[in-house]
Each structure stands twice: as structure tokens, then as C-alpha cells.
Amino acid sequence: MSTIQTTGQAAGLGHHVREHRSVLAEVEKRTLVWLAVRLPRWVNSDHLTGLGAIAMLGTGAAFAAASLSPWTLLLVPPMLAVNWFGDSLDGTVARVRNTQRPRYGYYVDHVVDVANVSVLFAGLALSGLLSPWIAAVLLVGYLLLSAESFLATHALGVFRISFAGFGPSELRVLLSIGALAVLVKPVVNPFGLGELPLFDVGGTVGALGMLGAFVMNAARNTVALYRAEPLKKPDDATPR
């Protein structure tokens, strides 16, 4: 299943396409268009981007406050839902209303995304649920994957927003489930290795997944670009 991603303010950027192959892509696209045509006209893309950023601040704060009271984790799913609403709908609204600002949207969308993820992992690192070292590796993995994706966008003309069927929406769902599950079962025993914190196990899997996706994407895109621009033999002519 493949669709061109319509979320994010950069959706109308003319010189590249946004490719979304996640599990929820088709349902998400139809839902976002349905919401966009019914949204009040006074609500614009900038309002939605700001709403998404504020919701992610709330998510990070809810995780950080879990070190004082685990019940603040109940705020994580609704905060992530509001973040999805704002962060995913901003570009769809611009497209439906034909009010795209390609360069502005592309830049602001991804700057806000990087800031949002930094806040999220900072909150997790302060929560006591996830080792700060694993949170740091997760952030590094995300930044590597993002940088490679941004470079590939300009070199190949395709911006891929999902990897192995997982995109931002699927990750929000998993994070929401994890926030609720840890209230009931904070430790797990994977493969009989002994009791380990649930978020440490999930974070390790997530970090390995992002780093693996970075390596695979970098290798695939390097091969594609090499085939498009093979190494030429040097000119035999002697310069005068």
C-alpha cells in the first residue's frame, strides 16, 4: 500500500513527493481530508502546527512528571492525539484550501518535528521509566534518520516518511499503549533474560530499528545515486 503523504505543511512542495507506506496511511489520509473540509475557516495551518507543538510539550511534561506520580501517564494518549491532530492536519488544510507555502512549510514543519521529538525524549529521560542513555540513543537515531531523509529528498526527489510500515502515527499509538501498559506491568522478562523495565526494552528495540533503517536507507540511496551518476573515466586530454 502506497500513498503520497499529505500531512505536514510541506505537502505541496513542488520539487518532491512525500511517500507514505505505513499501516495506517490510507485511513489516516481519508480522515485528515474529512477533518480539513469541516474545519472552521479561521483555523489555519500555523494554528495547527502550534497546537501540535504545545501538545507534544504536554506529552513530554506528562512523562517527566511520572517520576513523581505514575498517574500522569494517563495524560499521554490524549496529548499524543492532540499532537496528531495538529501536526498531521496542518498540511492537509493547506492543500485542501490551496494555500500551500512550500518552502516555509517544509522548513517550519521539520524544525518543529525535531524540537518535538527532543522534548519527548527529554521527558522520557526524566520519567524514570527509560534509561537516559537509551533516550539519548533514540534521539540520535531519530536525528540520523531525519537527516538522511532530508538529504534524500533533495537528491532523489522523494521524501519517505515511513519505514517498514511504521510512521509517526503508528509510533504515537505504540507510545500511548506503552504509557498505559507500564502502569500495569512496569517490568517484563523478554526471552527469559530477566526482569527489565518495559520502556528500556521498547526503547532498545526502537533505537535498533531506527539505526538499522538509517543504514539500509543510506545504502539503498547511495546505490541509486551511483547508478544515476556512475563514475566517469578521467579525460585523457592533457591540459594546456
**Residues 68-107: pLDDT tens digits?**
999 999 999 999 999 999 999 998 999 999 998 988 988 9
| pLDDT for residue 14 is more than 90 | no
Hey, how many other C-beta atoms are within 10 angstroms of the C-beta on 201? 18
Residue 62 belongs to some domain of the structure? yes
pLDDT at 167: 84
The C-alpha cell of 207 is what? 533505537
Q: What's the average model confidence in pLDDT over 192-197?
A: 84
Domain of 19: which CATH number?
A: 1.20.120
Give the lowest-confidence range in 13-17, 64-68, 152-156: 13-17
Residue 28 belongs to some domain of the structure? yes
Give the residue numbers spanning the domain of 17.
3-130+157-187
Handedness of CA 102, 14, 25, 200 (dihedral sign): negative
pLDDT at 157: 85
β-pair partners for 84: none
Residue 221 belongs to some domain of the structure? no
Element (H, E) at 28: helix 25-38
pLDDT at 13: 46
Amino acid of residue 17:
V
Q: What's the average model confidence in pLDDT over 169-190?
A: 92
pLDDT at 240: 57
pTM: 0.85
| pLDDT for residue 236 is more than 60 | no
Residue 125 belongs to some domain of the structure? yes
pLDDT at 102: 87
pLDDT band at 165 (very low <50, low <70, confident <90, very high): confident
pLDDT at 104: 93
Residue 144 belongs to some domain of the structure? no
pLDDT band at 237 (very low <50, low <70, confident <90, very high): low
Residue 21 belongs to some domain of the structure? yes
DSSP-assigned letters across all residues of 129-197 = SS-HHHHHHHHHHHHHHHHHHHHHHHHHSEEE--BTTB-HHHHHHHHHHHHHHHHH-SEE-GGGS--EE
pLDDT at 233: 79
pLDDT band at 238 (very low <50, low <70, confident <90, very high): low
Question: Distance between CA atoms of 68 and 82, rounded to whole angstroms?
Answer: 24
Residue 213 belongs to some domain of the structure? no
Q: What's the average model confidence in pLDDT over 177-183?
A: 95
Residue 136 belongs to some domain of the structure? no
- List, in order, residues 6 or more apart from 75 with CB less than 8 Å away: 58, 59, 62
66 with 197: CB under 8 angstroms?
no
What separation in angstroms does the CA of 224 have from each of 18, 228, 237? 18, 6, 30
Amino acid of residue 42:
W
Domain count, the chain: 1
| pLDDT for residue 5 is more than 50 | no
